[in-house]
Amino acid sequence: MTNPAITQLSEDELAFKDAVRQFAEGEIKPLVTKMDEEAKLSPELIKQIFEMGFMGIETPEEYGGVGSSFTMACLAVEEIARVDGSVSVMVDVQNTLVTNAFIRWGNDEQKKKYLPQLAQSKVGAYALSESVSGSDAFALKLKAEDKGDHYALNGHKLWITNAGEAEIFLVFANINPELGYKGITGFIVDRDTEGFTIGKKEDKLGIRASSTCELIFENCKVPKENVIGEVGKGYKIAIETLNEGRIGIGAQMLGIAQGAYEATLDYIKSREQFGKPLAKFQGVQFQLAEMRTELEASRLMVYNAARLKDNGQDFVEEAAMAKLYSSRAAEKIASMAVDLFGGNGFTKEYPAEKFYRDAKIGQIYEGTSNMQLQTIAKIELSK
């Protein structure tokens, strides 16, 4: 039966979605268990993802990218997450946060230098969070001191996705803490920059192959030409980029939910109890219907938010709702998958437990569920 949400996609979008699915099934799926166990993405796979153009979907063709839409980027994230949440978040951060920021806020020289690298060969990371600035994103302590021809960055960042593989970092620091958020400035930091090192790698519950690391800045020397946007306007870049990134996380959660649902559907059709497949029991059928409904609602909300963004319309509330709902739905659907797999669902031999572990992060990163609720309520009360 035709999926109602899928019918909203154009022929080109459907063809692209199918191409990403085939790649995910053929190239990513065989590596999922090994990458999860080793907590490391395959370098060869990353190279293949670049070759497929999945790391520069919105990047204009003049900079070596595909020159496509935000919706296309979300479709790629969704289809990859259907197979592996770790690979999908690498692609998501690259497209919806790092590259997005360069396209919107980078000057001509920065675009010429960094966009081709991000589209064709180098992983990027978005460094905002610190030990004291999670949901309170602008309480950051990383300081940038003006040294005349450069800035010296001192401090730490925590929980930075892609940090293990990244070679280009978009880092937010404060040039004048007395000004509060008005001192926050965005900096481009290359991995080999003097005074910059990658610290502890987190040992995580889910999306284990995705690297999440500490960043250490010790008199890190950043040239003044590496300020992205305007000095003191980093908060604006951070806020607006994260608003878009939340749609990408919604797409990731949608993909994880889709993967968990499909695995469950296959399992209940083949697993027999009391002389008949689980799918023949009405109680199981009702749970399947609940999963499918949550999945479809998530898809509609994520696609709607992406469409609004592509059409230049206000999407902030829709992005918050899409992330809030899809992350909750992914956890619910993955949990029901474990239940319906029974004892098998609690073992690593079957896929349900990994979908469940990977889904949990959706309600935490790029704005917790409580922060999404606050955003939605604030917008509603302002009407």
Q: What is the pLDDT of residues 25-43, one digit of tens each?
A: 999 999 999 999 999 999 9
220 and 284 assigned to the same domain = no
Residue 84 lies in a domain: yes
118 and 21 assigned to the same domain = yes
Residue 12 lies in a domain: yes
Residue 161 lies in a domain: yes
pTM, two decimal places: 0.96
Number of structural domains the chain divides into: 3
Residue 59 lies in a domain: yes
pLDDT at 133: 87
Residue 1 lies in a domain: no
Q: Under a CB-based contact definition with an 8 Å cutoff, are residues 87 and 209 in contact? A: yes
What CATH number corresponds to the domain at position 137?
2.40.110.10
CA 303 to the chain's CA centroid: 15
pLDDT at 2: 43
CA distances from 31 to 41, 54, 82, 249 (A): 9, 18, 14, 22
**Which of 123, 156, 176 marks a domain boundary?**
123
Q: Which helix (H) or strand (E) holds 168?
A: strand 168-174
Q: Which residues lie across from 75 on neighbouring strands? A: none
**Which of 217, 232, 247 marks a domain boundary?**
232
219 and 298 assigned to the same domain = no
196 and 275 assigned to the same domain = no
Going from the first residue of the chain to its last (383 residues), give the mean pLDDT of each consecutive group of 10, the final group possibly shorter. Answer: 60 96 98 98 98 98 98 98 98 98 98 98 97 85 96 98 98 94 96 98 98 98 97 95 97 98 98 96 98 97 96 96 98 98 98 98 96 97 96
* Among 204, 120, 106, 195, CA closest to 161: 204
Active site residue 244: no
147 and 96 assigned to the same domain = no
Burial annotation 109-126 (CB, 10 A radius, 16+ → b, else e):
ebbebbbbbbbbebbbbb
* Among 96, 91, 86, CA closest to 34: 86
Range of the domain at 316: 236-381
**Which of 174, 198, 232 marks a domain boundary?**
232
Q: Which of 167, 290, 366, 380 is catalytic?
A: 366
Total number of residues shown for the chain:
383
pLDDT at 135: 85
pLDDT at 332: 98
What CATH number corresponds to the domain at position 263?
1.20.140.10
288 and 210 assigned to the same domain = no
